């Protein structure tokens, strides 16, 4: 049984993880675990880095092809795609965000893990509006690059 089937929350054990080199250039991590008929992520990618065997299969990222552009993040209705770029002591996490208030570039926010626990402070580096989903890039400690998946903003 996978870790998320026991706990209801994904862990890195459930994921196909990129290499250090892939993380340094920045790549998409897809945390989509339900086999449902859905595929906008595939069409959103400008370099065809996301593939699916069929409409019900889980999407797979080709880390060699992925250029870390983040376009897929705002197209996923399941809010299941993140782009991670990690180097030295800092990591950039690009994540989908649908809460209010929306942070501004330069804000300090709380960085949360998959369980919703506050793990560190983060600095907002980019805020993009993609349809109803904001695509936010937050800078955090590199050692938390594969853990931070949300933010909490205080007004």
152 touches 109 (CB < 8 A)? yes
Distance in Å, CB of 101 to ligand SF4, minimum: 25
Structure tokens at 4: 């998320």
> How far is 130 from 87, CA to CA, in rounded Å?
26
Q: Does residue number 29 form part of the binding site for ligand SF4 (CB under 6 A)?
A: no
Residue with tokens 């209705």: 77
Provide CB contacts within 8 A for 5, sequence distance 6+: none
Residues 39-98 that bind ligand SF4 (CB under 6 A): 39-41, 44-45, 47, 49-50, 59, 61, 66-72, 76-78, 80-81, 83
Structure tokens at 122: 């983060």
> How far is 28 from 23, CA to CA, in rounded Å?
9
Distance in Å, CB of 15 to ligand SF4, minimum: 12
Choice between 55 and 118, CB closer to ligand SF4: 55
- From 31-39, 118-126, 133-141, 147-155, give the range in contact with ligand SF4 by CB under 6 A: 31-39
Residues 95-134 that bind ligand SF4 (CB under 6 A): none
Distance in Å, CB of 60 to ligand SF4, minimum: 10
Choice between 28 and 95, CB closer to ligand SF4: 28
Residue with tokens 């990591």: 91
């Amino acid at each position: 049984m996978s870790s998320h089937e026991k706990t209801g929350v994904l862990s890195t054990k459930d994921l196909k993880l990129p290499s250090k080199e892939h993380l340094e250039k920045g790549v998409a991590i897809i945390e989509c675990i339900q086999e449902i008929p859905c595929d906008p992520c595939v069409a959103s990618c400008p370099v065809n880095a996301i593939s699916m065997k069929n409409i019900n299969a889980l999407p797979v990222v080709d880390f060699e092809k992925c250029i870390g552009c983040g376009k897929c993040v705002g197209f996923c209705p399941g809010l299941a795609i993140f782009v991670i770029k990690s180097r030295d002591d800092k990591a950039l996490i690009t994540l989908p965000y649908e809460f209010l208030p929306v942070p501004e570039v330069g804000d300090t926010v709380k960085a949360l893990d998959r369980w919703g626990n506050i793990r560190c402070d983060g600095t907002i580096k980019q805020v993009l509006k993609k349809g109803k989903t904001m695509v936010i890039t937050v800078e955090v400690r590199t050692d938390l690059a594969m853990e931070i998946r949300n933010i909490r903003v205080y007004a």
